[in-house]
Amino acid sequence: MQALKTKEAAVALGVSQTTVKRWVIAFPAFFTKDRLGHYIFSDSDLIRLRYIKERVDLGDSLDRLELSGKEDSDDSSAESCPEESAQQADELINRMKRIEHMLSQKADEVVSMQILQHRKELEALNQVVKQLAESVELLERKLARPPVIEKEIQLPGHHSHRRKRGILRSLFQFW
């Protein structure tokens, strides 16, 4: 029993890889993938593909074709490779554990970044609160001091009048 990849099956059938993929997509229950998601074709799969090719060459459309024999090939492949399916199950479980671990690690990193961001925001807010407190304290000190009035205090009975000088006198002050 040989396992062919899509390219090898396409060469054996004399069609393009895209055609083989289109046929496989039309009948997904009849063809299997490996653990990486690539299609692998056995001899019985190749016979099915040849049948599809013959029918398409005769003018039948893919949606009118009916394939049979999947149940037989599934039972024989399941009986022939129980170790392989157990190994694939173990690989899937290990892969899921790795993904869960990576997801948990990523979640921890996200939480750490959020905490760091919140800490920076709180420090900025604390700085603003300190500045506001200093401003309020300064304003309170200014309000607590009595205002200094810079007016001349005049004695009663003392009138200070300035005499108006004429324009010429102001120009010639030495007189």
pLDDT tens-digit profile of 14-73? 999 899 888 888 888 888 888 888 888 888 888 888 888 888 888 877 777 777 765 444
Mean pLDDT of 79-89: 72
CATH class in words for 6-80: mainly alpha
pLDDT at position 36, please? 83
Token pair, residue 13, equals 């059938």
pLDDT at 103 exceeding the cut of 80: yes
pLDDT at position 78, please? 46
Of the chain, the percentage scoring pLDDT greater than 70 comes to 74
Distance separating alpha carbons of residues 80 and 152, to the nearest angstrom = 117
pLDDT at 113 exceeding the cut of 90: yes
Token pair, residue 32, equals 């299997």
Distance separating alpha carbons of residues 110 and 104, to the nearest angstrom = 10
pLDDT at 87 exceeding the cut of 90: no
- pTM, full prediction: 0.39
Confirm if 40 and 32 have CB atoms less than 8 A apart.
Answer: yes
Mean pLDDT of the chain: 80
pLDDT at position 137, please? 93
Q: Is residue 52 left, alpha or beta, with left meaning phi > 0 and alpha meaning psi from -120 to 50?
A: alpha
